[in-house]
Amino acid sequence: MRKPIIAGNWKMFKTFDEAVEFAENVREKVPSEEKVDAVICAPAIYLPTLVDIAAETDLAIGAQNMHFENEGAFTGEISPSQLASIHVDYCIIGHSERREYFNETDEAVNKKVRAALMNGIVPIICCGETLEERESAKTEEKVASQVTEALEGFSPEEVKHMVIAYEPIWAIGTGKTATADDANAVCGKIREVVEGLYGEETASTIRIQYGGSVKPENIEELLSKEHIDGALVGGASLQADSYLALLNQAA
């Protein structure tokens, strides 16, 4: 049995005070980490404070992006070793917004995944198709190639510790959700790709989330599907009550 993982992705939302208020409000209310992994991926400048607030609780803190080098002349970037030095546990890698607006490539995603693992950070690797790709029946091809490139060059043991998030781009922040069956079919395809690359044991261990307009009203059905092990949640993770409702349904 794979433990569900619900990760909030706050994107570029919340003031510092709002972030602190949220974390203080939810930290004692998140379900036990024996039942569900609860993560909040926050803007980088809030991470040290949120890590402190979440210390000794079942809430884990993640970043939304990082560089793949541990140090260097990369003005404005944040490195994996810097994130590790403040005890950040997770990092979203290759979110479609980063691929679209910041030209992040599959090659960079692969390097970032490696850098995350080297620093003890769990990568949440995003993949997903555009509406145009879906309408021209290229969903599986696109997702398979993103996953294959992101996972290139690892050992099965390393891959088991990763999380993959399937986020159809047309469902992100639009209110449109893939049907649970469609989402499950693509997550199943991702598992097949992992099995082809790293074998059955790794494929049945790695956790695959669905993302794209997940909310308390639709999470139960999504999580009831065989290949969906959690959710990467944007909008519905911004309010403490809906974030907790998602966690409680997953637990």
d(CA 161, CA 194): 13
Measuring CA to CA, which residue among 192, 234, 243 is closest to residue 216?
243
Please, which residue, 212 or 230, has the CB nearer to ligand G2H?
A: 212
What sign for the dihedral angle of Cα 124, 147, 224, 169?
positive
Task: Select which of 67, 95, 104, 133 is catalytic.
Answer: 95
Q: Which residues bind ligand G2H (CB under 6 A)?
A: 9, 167, 172-173, 211-214, 232-235
Q: What six digits make up the tokens of 203? A: 């494929």
Give phi and psi for 225, each to the nearest 5.
-85, 145
Q: Is 65 helix (H, G, I), strand (E, B) or coil?
A: coil
Please, which residue, 166 or 198, has the CB nearer to ligand G2H?
A: 166
Neighbours of 18 (CB within 10 A): 13
* 67 classed as catalytic: no
- Residue facing ligand G2H at closest CB distance: 234
Please, which residue, 124 or 203, has the CB nearer to ligand G2H?
A: 124
d(CA 183, CA 177): 9
d(CA 237, CA 177): 16
Task: Select which of 104, 129, 133, 167 is catalytic.
Answer: 167
Angle, vertex CA 131, rays to CA 247 and CA 231, nearest 5? 10
Query: Helix axis angle, 106-118 relative to 139-150, nearest 10°?
Result: 40
Provide the minimum distance between the beta carbon of 196 and ligand G2H in the complex, in angstroms, as a whole number. Answer: 26
d(CA 234, CA 214): 8
Provide the minimum distance between the beta carbon of 179 and ligand G2H in the complex, in angstroms, as a whole number. Answer: 15
Provide the minimum distance between the beta carbon of 9 and ligand G2H in the complex, in angstroms, as a whole number. Answer: 4
Please, which residue, 62 or 234, has the CB nearer to ligand G2H?
A: 234
Please, which residue, 162 or 232, has the CB nearer to ligand G2H?
A: 232
d(CA 137, CA 50): 42
Provide the minimum distance between the beta carbon of 160 and ligand G2H in the complex, in angstroms, as a whole number. Answer: 23
Provide the minimum distance between the beta carbon of 163 and ligand G2H in the complex, in angstroms, as a whole number. Answer: 12
Please, which residue, 79 or 96, has the CB nearer to ligand G2H?
A: 96
Q: Is 179 helix (H, G, I), strand (E, B) or coil?
A: coil
Provide the minimum distance between the beta carbon of 188 and ligand G2H in the complex, in angstroms, as a whole number. Answer: 20
* 157 classed as catalytic: no
- Which residues are marked as active site? 95, 167
